[in-house]
Amino acid sequence: MERIDLAGDWRRVSPRYAWAELWTSAIWGAIIAAAVGVFLWLVSDWDRWVPIAIGVAVLVFFALTGLFGFLRVRTIGFLMRDDDLLVRRGMLFRRFVSVPYGRMQVVDVTQGPLERMLDLKTLKFVTAAATSAVTIPGLPGTDAEVLRDELVAVAESRRAGL
């Protein structure tokens, strides 16, 4: 087992972000578990406990995925170098993306209801390529705004075309 890794002074995101992931996955799990359970209960002539068991299994699966987030959030990080922004994420499926600052088209800062409760924000760096997908979630307080302004300023000085 040889994993890709890049050494560096990675800035990590807030561990609280794992709670957001957990809640998101719990809510989706509950919805899907209920839908699957009700559907099976309606169309099948099994005993009542079979759909319930299946629903619970779905819920547990989602809860585990959510718990996994506590490990995964530790792998999310970013690094601002002189010429590019480097973002990493993923534990099993690892992904390192490097974006030269000049490629910035738009920077988004978003906050969902769960994130608002946890006082976290998500920053999205949009380039002209649809596949870039550079997102940094779990930025606490005003970190996202600060980072955004920083990125915009540095991109301004290195603006390039497409």
Partner 1 sequence: MTDPLQPPPPREQQHQAPQPTAAAAMLPPAEQPPVEAQERARSLVDGEWHRLHPATPLLRGGLAVIVAGFFLLNTLRDRVVALFLPDDLDYDGDAPDAIEAAEQLARSGTLLWVLLGLVAVLALCVLGFWLAWRVHTFRVTGDVVEVRQGILFRSHRRAPLARIQGVNLEKPWFARIFGACKLEIQSAGADANVDLAYLSNGLADALRYEILARAAGRTSSQQHQQQAGSRTQRVVDDFLRPDAELAGIASTSLVRLKPSTVIVSSLLDLGLVIGVLVSVAAVVAMVVLDIPWLLFTLIPTVISVVSITVRTLSQKLRYSIAQTPDGIRLAYGLLSTTTEVLPPGRVFSITVSQPLLWRPMGWWKIAFTRATKTTDASSGQQRQYANMLLPVGSLADVDTVIGLVLPDLRGTRLLRDGLVGRGAVDADAGAEDDHAAAATHDGFVTTPRSARILRPLSWRRNGVAIGDDAVLLRKGRIWRSLGIVPLARTQSFAMHQGPLEGALGVAHLAVHVVGNAFSPTIGALAVDDAQRAFAHAREVVPAAIGADTTETWHVRESRPDAPPTALPAAPDPASASGRDLRPGTVDWSTSGPIDGVEQQDVTNRSDAAGQDGPAAQPQTPQQPASQQQPPQPHPGADARGDEQQR
Taking the least distance from each CB to partner 1, the nearer of 56 and 153 is 153
117 touching partner 1, by CB under 8 A: no
119 touching partner 1, by CB under 8 A: no
6 touching partner 1, by CB under 8 A: yes
φ, ψ for residue 4 (rounded to 5)? -75, 145
Taking the least distance from each CB to partner 1, the nearer of 33 and 151 is 151
97: left (phi over 0), alpha (psi -120 to 50) or beta: beta
From the list 128, 146, 152, 153, which residue makes contact with partner 1 (rule: CB under 8 A)?
A: 128
76 touching partner 1, by CB under 8 A: no
CA atoms of 148 and 135, how far apart (whole Å): 12
43 touching partner 1, by CB under 8 A: no
Q: Name the residue among 145, 150, 141, 138 with its Cα closest to residue 77.
A: 138
136 touching partner 1, by CB under 8 A: no
CA atoms of 64 and 107, how far apart (whole Å): 32
From the list 39, 57, 83, 146, which residue makes contact with partner 1 (rule: CB under 8 A)?
A: 83
From the list 24, 68, 102, 150, which residue makes contact with partner 1 (rule: CB under 8 A)?
A: 102
Compute, in degrees rounded to 10, the torsion defined by CA atoms 4, 106, 151, 144. -80
